Amino acid sequence: MKLSSPTTSIPNVGAAYARRLEKLEIYNVRDLLTHVPFRYLDFRNTKSISSLNPDELVTVGGEITEIKNIYTKWGKKIQLAKVRDKTGTIEVVWFNQSYLVKSLPEGTSIFLAGKVGWFSRKLAMISPEYEIAKAGPGVHTGRLIPVYHETAGISSKWLRSKIALVYPLVEDEFAEFLPQKLLTSYAFVLFKEAVKSVHFPKNLDEAEKGRVRLSFNELLFLQLASYLRKEEWLKNEVSYQIAVDQKEIDSFINSLPFTLTSSQDSAVREILEDLKGASPMNRILEGDVGSGKTVVSAIAAFASFSNGFQSVFMAPTQILAQQHFETLNSLFSPFKIRVTLVTSEGIKKGVGKTDIFVGTHALIHRKVDLDKAALVVIDEQHRFGVEQRSHLIRKVGKRKVSPHVLTMTATPIPRTVALTFYGDLALSTLRELPAGRKKITTWVLTPAKREAAYSWIEKKILKDKVQAFVICPLIEESQVESMTQVKAATKEFENLKKLMPKVKLGLIHGKMSLTDKSWAIEDFSGGGTDVLVATPVVEVGIDIPNACVMVIEGAERFGLAQLHQLRGRVGRSDKKSYCLVFSQSSSRGILTRLTALTKSISGFELAELDLKLRGPGEVFGVRQHGFLSLKIASWQDTELIKKAKEVALSITKNPKSFPKLAKMLKGKAISPN
């Protein structure tokens, strides 16, 4: 057996178990042994039965003298046993495990580990861990017992058994790859010891040292993989090198109806510098909602146009593509730059030769000639699959020739995520909002305030001639969750007609046709409707300056980053704006999240907190889009992340000092094994 062996090579693990293990991201022996416990049960306290006290966590050994099934008046089965040692007898109770009567017959020598409690007014052990006594240390009793993340059909006990079986067979494969000097400097245990320590620790300190070392391995290899991606990217030749004429750029910037913020200025300088290079740009432009990312990307597209080249803008939704098309048309109209909108239904706007293509993933599949495209701008990149992004880049470029790529995101990237995942990308950040924007007042409300809130909204719309969004997380009534838990947009639309009879309501959701969506947005934008009831389809792409009130129903269903982006749909003018957040949850974690929204207007602060509370898979919604989650390390391990970054940099600069890692890098075997 090897670390690379599939899980089906483990005794008594067939195809069914292998499929269950895949849900835990365990595909081979290595994955099993790096499936690290998240806590431990301390069953080191081994006692005789006569010395047991209530509420103790203990391990006891003895012989089963009696075991039987008994039935409760509710029809449930209880397994009641008596276990005796030299000092006394204790009752043991399990629930709904009838098989134990056969598998643990009378006379079986057994170890039990668990909490001492009461049953029928007698001291007893309730649902303890157990194992049949044998030579050698116990796996489930008499030690610190690891508790793992589980899935249906795969318990911690099952995992402990398989890990105890497999580890001795492959432990010598965990060869050390870090130099002794570094191990000493960072007080790291050996790789082999780390694996053993997390699964079979003598004490909690040993377990933590093992976890730290394995966490470092994970972070280091993510950094090195990032380095390899960057190295591969830089081997490409740029499709078209762009000469930057600053006078022409200034003429475009001066034509804008506003002044760039200082961070927009900085981002423009960084991007233009990249465009001049012989290697293709690979840069992320991150900025809060409404920070002006589109304008910055438009300046890059103008530089491409000035050199006689095309640009391509890819957006995740047709609504956002339409928004970009209209914005770019407006910005470029004085310069006779031709913009074409491409959707799944074909080329919708723009005729003849094109300077800038705007579209969704339809850009990949439509017969659009992109041979002269020097720049690709991808908006909300985490909403696209890895293949969609790479297909577009391949379509624009050729073998070993790539376009300049600028990806934009309104979901701020926390520093720890940027350090770990984005080492291969340059990063430009827009931290300021354009002048004139006012802070959005945010309130967290209980359902009891709903009627009064909507009455206030109706009066505000009629008095100040403003508009409002109402966001609901589901389209239709869920079979799992009742309407008292989550408001559905279609039902809320009907409810609001009764609550606000004096205003006009519109409805938009993801299941509507593109034509119906476009009509609903145009009607709202033109003032035909006062309130737009919607699902989170408005999270990106809808820019209605007159919308000054945002209502979010079922706010507990959203993460902070998404709530912040939804809030960003209002406050896009000089009018005072409000965000009303409704939640029925009394969960401390959810209330912490929602309260943070009322205190901060910074997407960067909220993204950091969201990462801490929920992790990147939830923050970005991107596990299925090529985004890795941390399996062992924690996002709170900021010092460890910095150390991994430092070591990765040292390896790339001085590979001779890290011969084993350098060999792995050369062979692109970026895995700790």
SS3 content of the chain, % helix, strand, coil (to 5): 40, 20, 35
Residue 12 has a pLDDT of 93
**Which domains, from first to last, does the chain contain?**
1-40+152-173 (no CATH), 45-142 (2.40.50.140), 178-235+639-673 (no CATH), 237-430 (3.40.50.300), 440-600 (3.40.50.300)
Residue 477 has a pLDDT of 41
CA 534, CA 546: separation in Å to the nearest integer? 17
| pLDDT tens sequence across 89-101 | 999 999 989 999 9
CA 624, CA 545: separation in Å to the nearest integer? 34
Write the secondary structure of 156-192 as one string of H (helix), E (strand) and C (coil).
Answer: HHHHHHHHHHHHHHHHHHCCCCCCHHHHHHHCCCCHH
CA 531, CA 515: separation in Å to the nearest integer? 19
Residue 381 has a pLDDT of 56
3-state secondary structure of 657: helix
Q: Taking 70 as the threshold, does the pLDDT of residue 538 lie above it? A: no
**370 or 486, higher pLDDT:** 370
Q: What is the b/e burial string over 640-669, where b = at least 16 CB atoms within 10 angstroms of the residue's CB?
A: bbebbbebbeebbeeeeebeebbebbeeee
Residue 348 has a pLDDT of 58
Arithmetic mean of pLDDT, 178-183: 92
Tokens of 249: 């750029």
Residue 476 has a pLDDT of 42
- According to DSSP, the residues that pair with 551 across neighbouring strands are 470, 580
Q: Under the phi-then-psi rule, with left for phi > 0, alpha for psi from -120 to 50, and beta for the rest, what region is 277?
A: beta
Q: Taking 50 as the threshold, does the pLDDT of residue 16 lie above it? A: yes
Strand spans (E) along 410-513: 426-430, 440-445, 467-471, 505-508
Average pLDDT of the residues of the chain: 84
Q: Taking 50 as the threshold, does the pLDDT of residue 482 lie above it? A: no
| pLDDT tens sequence across 606-646 | 777 777 666 655 444 444 334 456 788 887 787 898 899 88
**435 or 209, higher pLDDT:** 209
What is the percent of the chain with per-residue pLDDT over 90, rounded to a whole number? 47
Contact 615, 465 (CB under 8 A): no
Place of tokens 């591969």: 232
| pLDDT tens sequence across 505-519 | 998 877 777 778 888
The sign of the dihedral angle between the CA atoms of 70, 75, 77, 78 is negative
Poorest-confidence range of 49-63, 115-129, 263-277, 308-322? 308-322
Q: Taking 50 as the threshold, does the pLDDT of residue 312 lie above it? A: yes
3-state secondary structure of 262: helix
Residue 231 has a pLDDT of 78
| pLDDT tens sequence across 438-469 | 788 999 998 889 899 999 999 999 999 999 99
Poorest-confidence range of 69-78, 159-168, 244-253? 69-78
Residue 619 has a pLDDT of 47
Chain centre distance of CA 33: 24
Residue 101 has a pLDDT of 93
Q: Taking 90 as the threshold, does the pLDDT of residue 300 lie above it? A: yes
Contact 568, 289 (CB under 8 A): yes
- According to DSSP, the residues that pair with 608 across neighbouring strands are none
Residue 434 has a pLDDT of 67
Residue 486 has a pLDDT of 36
Poorest-confidence range of 229-238, 278-287, 519-528, 545-554? 229-238
Arithmetic mean of pLDDT, 84-109: 94
Of 564-573, 577-586, 600-609, give the range with the top mean pLDDT.
577-586
Q: Is 117 exposed, middle or buried (0-12, 13-18, 19+ CB in 10 A)?
A: middle
- pLDDT band of 68, cuts 50, 70, 90: very high
Nearest to 414 by CA among 660, 191, 614: 614
Residue 479 has a pLDDT of 36
- pLDDT band of 115, cuts 50, 70, 90: very high
- pLDDT band of 71, cuts 50, 70, 90: confident
| pLDDT tens sequence across 470-481 | 988 754 444 333
Residue 267 has a pLDDT of 95
- pLDDT band of 366, cuts 50, 70, 90: low
Poorest-confidence range of 308-317, 388-397, 402-411, 516-525? 388-397
